[in-house]
Amino acid sequence: MGLEMYAFAIPEEDVGVSPVDVQLRLREGAPLLTIGHWDGLKPLHHWMHHLYERRGGKYHIFRDTSVRLDQTDLTALEKAMAEQLVSSGRDLGLCERLDQDDMMSIRRFVKAARRSIEEEHAVIYAAFK
């Protein structure tokens, strides 16, 4: 079984202030909305792992933990994707080239994540093996 990667939108009041290793405190009936799901999309996972480390994440293996994204992170992800398109294979933070289906999947996630943040939801990325 491969790495299962998820992005969730969760009401702000159900998430602490930590940017990494987010502890969910879901209220009874509070929504946990899945806004992204990928099965082993390594370039995205590597990008999220670097974000996790920059935010102070303490685990060397980025699995069974999480990182919170904000609008600035989403812009940086879009930039990394765009630069890859014109990079002739240079490593620009996504580690491996993405195919068109992967690009579309990440674009849909970014759009949903931006909307969720505007609606006062936290956007959390987590991966599980």
In order of their start, the domains of the chain are 4-128 (3.40.1760)
Tell me the whole-structure pTM to 2 decimals.
Answer: 0.86
- The span from the CA of 94 to the CA of 33, in Å, is 25
- Mind listing the pLDDT tens digit for each residue in 9-30? 999 888 888 899 887 666 777 7
pLDDT tens column, 46-76? 899 999 999 999 888 888 889 999 999 999 9
In tens, the pLDDT along 77-120 reads 999 888 775 544 444 455 566 788 888 999 999 999 999 999 99
CA distance 41 to 46: 9
Q: How many CA atoms lie within 13 A of 55 on its CB side?
A: 23
